[in-house]
Amino acid sequence: MLFKQWNEVDEPRHHLDSPTAFGNEDSLQEASLPGLEFPQIDWSHYTKVFFTTAIMEPLFPKTLLNTKKLGDIKAVLTLNGNPPKADSHSWNFEENFPNELNPEERISSTSFTFLTPVVAFGDTLLIMVKENFLKVSPIIYNQLANELVSGIICGAQAQEQELRVLGTSDRITELKSISDKRSDLRPPEFVTGFVGSILTQLIVNRLPFQGLIAPSEGATGFEKMSMETVPELIDICNEWIALDLENYKSECYRQCRRDGAATGSLSGLYI
């Protein structure tokens, strides 16, 4: 979780960055929750479901696994509050670092759409969320996880499905294995982001699951994993995903190098 340690700001650190600066801080009215639309998929047809974030993309090489896209989960968040005042101080990244982003891309609309593709290979479903703490409010991850788990997975004979969660945390120093029955996490370690939302729902709904939490560094959506972590992840995922694919590992390494996901400081310290 990002607690502004890199910003030279005189703001208390429990005030987190928010992507879509709501204008309703003074309001006493409830804000609208994101609306979700799911594609027509026979969820019970698949025996394995992976929940993860985009940093794990190299573990699912498209051509080798022969993945096919089944559709998009569409989340639409409509804000009815007033935009923030021009003279007030803002923690908007785009204002603090105006050179980093194209000013043409400034968000002017009050409606935000967030798409998450649902991908399948063999008997496995893959739901991989592209997080971005600058642009996507965590309410979208929460709502997505709520409806995915309590609405869809629970209704699709979840007890017979193998649910797998792959996530990262900047609060741990080594790869941790987790499941519904036991956890390698020790206080004060924790998981946040979309994977945190999914785990919350799996725990609250008492669904069996297995998973891995890998150490990472960086803000939500821009994490980096170290060169030590990636081989461990690939080894375990090789057992989970592709028992009979000989070149799975080499293809994963190739994807990692291509994405710069595993190269750590070699690819630059800054995002």
Partner 1 sequence: MSRTLLIPLVSTGNVPQLTADLVLHSLSSEFHFIESLDSTHLHPFVGPLDYVFEQQEPVLFSKFAPEKTYSTALELFYNDSRSLYVIQQRTPVIQGYLNNFVRDVICPLVGKLRITDVVILDSFGALDEDIVANTSRTSKTNNFYSDALCQVRSVGDVVREMEAGLHLNSPSLSSNIANTLFQFTTDSVQQELSTRQQAFKFAYHLLNSPFPQFQRIKYCSAFVHEGDNSYDAHLLCDHLTNVIDGFKKITKHTPPVSWKGVYGSRPVPTSFDEGIYI
Using CB under 8 A as the binding rule, whether residue 16 contacts partner 1 is answered as yes
**Tokens found for residue 201:** 């729902």
Q: Does 154 interact with partner 1 (rule: CB under 8 A)? A: no
- Using DSSP's 3-state secondary structure scheme, residue 35 falls into strand
Distance, in Å, from the CA atom of 139 to the CA atom of 122, rounded to the nearest integer, reads 32
Neighbours of 108 (CB within 10 A): 6
Question: Which residue's CB is nearer to partner 1, number 12 or number 103?
Answer: 12
45 is a contact residue toward partner 1 (CB under 8 A): no
Q: Could you tell me how many residues of this chain bind partner 1 (CB under 8 A)?
A: 52
> In angstroms, what is the minimal distance from the CB of 177 to partner 1?
12
The piece of 29-37, 49-57, 101-109, 233-241 that touches partner 1 (CB under 8 A) is 29-37
User: Which of 49, 199, 241, 256 contacts partner 1 by CB under 8 A?
Assistant: 199
Please give the residues from 77 up to 96 whose contact with partner 1 meets the rule CB under 8 A. 79, 81
Q: How far is CA 188 from CA 40, 127, 133, 255, in A?
A: 40, 28, 22, 33
Q: Angle at Cα 24 formed by Cα 18 and Cα 28, nearest 5°?
A: 130
Instruction: Give me the residues that bind partner 1 (CB under 8 A), please.
Output: 1, 10-16, 18, 20-22, 24-31, 33, 79, 81, 137-139, 141-143, 145-146, 180-183, 185-197, 199-200, 203-204
